[in-house]
Structure 1
């Protein structure tokens, strides 16, 4: 039995230099739909053509192409994190919160690949 109960959502997070230009590219070239730009956090999200799968664009001065971080939705991040930590899963620092929007926690698989848990605060405050 799994330690964490995941929701039917996943965000594929990538780093880009200009989120607005990249979002326009994904809209034009792949037909994705812009969900929002969160300029204060340097983040944008687009709905892909696959239900439950979004593309997150994190703006960075020097992005690292090819480094995608899957972000798995959970109903209760604190509970999920506790279960994984008790199973010796390594996390990268404390949970990050964007008030009224999301709780985020980065963790690693046995090979050091970064993964993330996200609790959507608009659904699960």
Structure 2
């Protein structure tokens, strides 16, 4: 049973030591455009050169090398999570909400690869 409310966006999320320096590197080396720095959330986001695909940078003191988590835009995260959990999909903790910004939920494929759902709460989609 596929999740019906997936949107046509994907964010590739990676952990980095310094979001601001990393964002500068991706702008200079790959031509990505900075969308925003959300310093209170420890998150930065850049538009890639592919329509609908962004790069998210989450700041971690010790990021794991080679990490990347595809983040799928979703219209209704609560409904999608209920459907996936009913189908036996394992989630990592509760849905996290940053008011006025985003709701996220991390889940795993059968091989243990992390994936994430994200619902835009800004009203601007």
1:100 aligns with 2:94: no
**TM-score when normalising by structure 2:** 0.96
What whole-Å deviation, never above 9, does each CA across 1:59-84 have from its counterpart, x for those lacking one? 01111121100000000000000000
**Per the alignment, in what secondary structure is the counterpart of residue 26 of structure 1?**
helix
Deviation for aligned residue 1:93: 0.5
Q: Is the 8 A contact 1:44 1:56 kept in 2?
A: yes
Deviation for aligned residue 1:124: 7.8
Q: Is the 8 A contact 1:75 1:124 kept in 2?
A: no
Structure 1 runs not aligned, ≥5 long: none
1:15 aligns with 2:15: yes
**1:46 corresponds to:** 46
Deviation for aligned residue 1:123: 3.5
Q: Is the 8 A contact 1:91 1:105 kept in 2?
A: yes
Q: Is the 8 A contact 1:4 1:83 kept in 2?
A: no
**TM-score when normalising by structure 1:** 0.96
| Number of residue equivalences | 125
